[in-house]
Amino acid sequence: MTNSQIAGRFGLALLLAAALIAPAAAQDKPKVRVGYFSQLHDAAVLDLASGELGKAVNFEYVKFQRYADAAIALGRGDIDISSLGYASIITEAAKNNDPKFKLVAGLARGAINLVCRTEVKVAAWPDLKGKTIGVVAGFPEIFLDDALRTHGQQPADLKKVNFAVAGPPVLQSLQDRSTDCAAVFEPFGATAVSSGYAYYPPTVISDNSFRGLNNGIAANTGFIEKHGELVKKIVASSNASTARFVASEQRWIDFITASQGFDPAIVKVGVKRVSLDSALYPREAATLAANMKNLGLIRAQPSDQQLQRFFLLAK
């Protein structure tokens, strides 16, 4: 066999070896199943795949419509991490069971706002007295009631119209003038404002006793136990993304518009009403839990010790 033939066979062997090694390397790349929601305040969890960590980890995204559904999937281990509302954490803690998932990083506060029809003048908290307010049952009502009490008003002084879910019915009630204002999730408030038939009054309902807690990133407890170092990297990556979006609102707008297909006009309005925040707030969560108990959303308020078990706090 000539030297050129030997060299040729050796080169072919290298190519074959590379072809075999490449799939093996891809298989070695860890996979993380991520629950998310198409909302402005999920920017950091959506950004995990596009950051540096995305080069080393396969992030597979699963979209949910309700936090309750994501909590079930997370508890069963169908997904590894997920955007999750504080209410889901409190509801699970109230069952007095061992945690199936824990909050590992914050995502946002706020993102639930009061919008009023353009012709309805609300300049201060007392102006809400006697107004007809559309309220989505659950979190928006907690935000509204707590903010009213925080600012010296009484929820009983309002006329509430309850809606089972957020979305078009709530906005339609503003358009047909059957309600004066509405307490809504974003980006529904921004949709009404950017469309010109509503505005944000200075009565900010996220200015309440529990600092307007909204959502964070939760991780399955089994995933935390098996992949503790990876969880730390996910938290660091998410926190860094939050800092970048806070530093550049336009970057946040561009990212959400491109990744979620939102109308840029709605996003531009909505981001002004959401506070991205990577911190965790177990103390304020206890205050929120008391609100949930008073509104009948949970039967019993979890003890502070029990609630603390559902937070993975940095030491």
Predicted pLDDT at 13: 39
Predicted pLDDT at 25: 46
Domains and CATH numbers, the chain: 32-110+211-308 (3.40.190.10), 112-199 (3.40.190.10)
For the chain, report the end-to-end CA distance as a whole number of angstroms: 65
Cis peptide before 30 (omega within 30 of 0): no
Entry pTM: 0.88
Cα–Cα distances in Å, from 202 out to 179, 206, 289? 18, 11, 26
| Contacts of range 264-267, beta carbons closer than 8 Å, 24 or more positions apart | 265/194, 266/187, 266/190, 266/191, 266/194, 267/40, 267/187, 267/190
Predicted pLDDT at 208: 96
Tens of pLDDT along the chain (315 residues)?
444 443 444 333 333 344 344 444 445 789 999 999 999 999 999 999 988 899 999 999 999 999 999 999 999 999 999 999 999 999 999 999 999 999 999 999 999 999 999 999 999 999 999 999 999 888 899 999 999 999 999 999 999 999 988 788 999 999 999 999 999 999 999 999 999 999 999 999 999 999 999 999 999 999 999 999 999 999 999 999 999 999 999 999 999 999 999 999 999 999 999 999 999 999 999 999 999 999 899 999 999 999 999 999 876
Predicted pLDDT at 61: 97
